[in-house]
Chains A and B, each alone.
Chain A
């Protein structure tokens, strides 16, 4: 059984997702040991911009230049700066077809693995594992479960998920793709909030449909909670791999921050500009791939 970690990254002119994905891959390689390869799925433009760096952090690169429609999103860097930019997140639903591995762990390029708990996913009895429960590290969101809307179904976080090549996973991704292509319909059907195409929403709706459109339990990853640092938070300092001090936005006054230290715990850092400011620290604290191991695969458009 081959086991791979997959990260998606496509630059959008505002965020250097390739660099961020390299940092994320470096952290995954340093923390986990039971996988075979770490693979990047990207487009030609992103690859050409950072090919050297990408080859030093990824064992495999899959290039796919399928057109992605504009999905405009508001990026926040605490309360200091906000900017609208294109968000190229629609390739995620193709991961079943693109993954060359029997078992795949997909992680967002802003998910920093700092312990080895996710090594426990391999060889699972479950065909798909994804988390519903999360925690806001600043405690502004008090609930552990988010919903697509107040009157809709629970949201599963497509930030980190595991699947193995199986009938269930194949059908799940078929439905996700169908939802992606008919998003408006499902958006209204499930009473979604916000206007952005979100993989979290598409995955949640697909899981609901696949489970017979009734209340359901999807196996969660070995981690109990997804540790989310939202984009109003900032990074104070990176001490070492597995030791980060964050500025957590105060629940009462979001312009003010509370310091909190995170050691030996995974962190989903959504303030991408903050990650960019500390990219050298992230890259130097991660682990690179062995030289001459990386290779490229081009998928036809």
Chain B
């Protein structure tokens, strides 16, 4: 009799654990969708246009520009996101501008992402 009771309570516990896990999958679904939307937003915001060209700002562009500036080149021709050569007249200014944009946008992404992951309750994250 005691064995049967233990079995039932173990089954109930397993059922509850499964329900909790399945409910958590809904939370994960919402979390992933919101995270991906933040990622796309960030990608769209990491765009910088100058001298008629458009650049996707990322770590490699910043590193390359840092190399250009460190090498003492004050002007260069660079391929933009559409593979069109664009003449950059002031490399230091360009580096400053793309770096600032990168830090600002990625910092916002960091804060939004922290907010999203720190709360299990999506209502809290979305301020519903």
Q: Is A28 an interface residue (CB 8 A)?
A: no
Residues in A with CB closer than 8 Å to B37 are 137, 260-262, 265
- Choose, from A1-9, A169-177, A222-230, A280-288, the stretch at the interface: A222-230
Known: A115-B45, A123-B52, A223-B44. A261 touches B86 (CB 8 A): no
- A residues 208-261 touching B (CB-CB < 8 Å): 217, 219-225, 227, 236-237, 239, 245, 248, 250, 258-261
Query: Is A264 a contact partner of B30 (Cβ separation < 8 A)?
Result: no
Q: What is the distance, in angstroms, from B117's C-beta to the closest C-beta of chain A?
A: 14
Q: Is B49 an interface residue (CB 8 A)?
A: yes
Query: Is A259 a contact partner of B122 (Cβ separation < 8 A)?
Result: yes
Query: Is B82 a contact partner of A117 (Cβ separation < 8 A)?
Result: no
Contact-size category for B: 20 to 34
Query: Is B33 a contact partner of A139 (Cβ separation < 8 A)?
Result: yes
Q: What is the distance, in angstroms, from A113's C-beta to the closest C-beta of chain B?
A: 11
**Which of B52, B82, B86 is A217 in contact with, Cβ under 8 Å?**
B82
Residues in B with CB closer than 8 Å to A261 are 34, 37, 125-126
Residues in B with CB closer than 8 Å to A264 are 41, 45, 108
**Which of B44, B53, B81, B86 is A225 in contact with, Cβ under 8 Å?**
B44
Q: What is the distance, in angstroms, from B111's C-beta to the closest C-beta of chain A?
A: 11
Q: Is B119 an interface residue (CB 8 A)?
A: no
Query: Is A266 a contact partner of B81 (Cβ separation < 8 A)?
Result: no
Q: What is the distance, in angstroms, from B71's C-beta to the closest C-beta of chain A?
A: 26
Query: Is A124 a contact partner of B49 (Cβ separation < 8 A)?
Result: yes
Q: Which residue of A lies closest to B43 (CB)?
A: A224
Query: Is A259 a contact partner of B54 (Cβ separation < 8 A)?
Result: no
Q: Is B14 an interface residue (CB 8 A)?
A: no
Query: Is B54 a contact partner of A225 (Cβ separation < 8 A)?
Result: no
Q: What is the distance, in angstroms, from B89's C-beta to the closest C-beta of chain A?
A: 14
Contact-size category for A: 35 or more
Q: What is the distance, in angstroms, from A122's C-beta to the closest C-beta of chain B?
A: 9
**Which of A117, A217, A258, A265 is B33 in contact with, Cβ under 8 Å?**
A258
Bound: A292/B124 CA distance, A: 44
Residues in A with CB closer than 8 Å to B40 are 135, 224-225, 227, 265
Bound: A140/B51 CA distance, A: 38
Known: A124-B49, A217-B82. A258 touches B54 (CB 8 A): no
Bound: A266/B45 CA distance, A: 10
Query: Is A223 a contact partner of B47 (Cβ separation < 8 A)?
Result: yes
Q: Is B56 an interface residue (CB 8 A)?
A: yes
**Which of B41, B45, B48, B81 is A262 in contact with, Cβ under 8 Å?**
B41
**Which of B43, B44, B127 is A266 in contact with, Cβ under 8 Å?**
B44
Q: What is the distance, in angstroms, from A31's C-beta to the closest C-beta of chain B?
A: 12
Bound: A115/B46 CA distance, A: 12
Residues in A with CB closer than 8 Å to B53 are 124-125
Bound: A265/B84 CA distance, A: 26
Q: Is A120 an interface residue (CB 8 A)?
A: yes
Query: Is A222 a contact partner of B84 (Cβ separation < 8 A)?
Result: no
Residues in A with CB closer than 8 Å to B56 are 224
Query: Is B41 a contact partner of A117 (Cβ separation < 8 A)?
Result: no
Bound: A225/B81 CA distance, A: 13
Known A217-B83, A219-B54, A221-B54; 14 more pairs at CB < 8 Å: A117-B45, A120-B54, A123-B52, A124-B53, A125-B86, A220-B81, A223-B47, A224-B44, A227-B44, A239-B127, A258-B29, A260-B37, A262-B37, A265-B37
**8 shortest interchain CB distances as A-B pairs:** A125-B52, A120-B49, A265-B41, A219-B82, A222-B47, A224-B43, A223-B44, A222-B54
Q: Could you name 27 residue pairs across A and B whose Cβ atoms are closer than 8 Å?
A: A120-B48, A120-B49, A120-B54, A124-B49, A125-B52, A126-B52, A135-B40, A139-B36, A219-B54, A219-B84, A221-B54, A222-B49, A222-B54, A223-B44, A224-B40, A224-B47, A225-B43, A239-B127, A245-B128, A258-B30, A259-B30, A259-B128, A260-B30, A261-B37, A263-B112, A265-B41, A265-B45
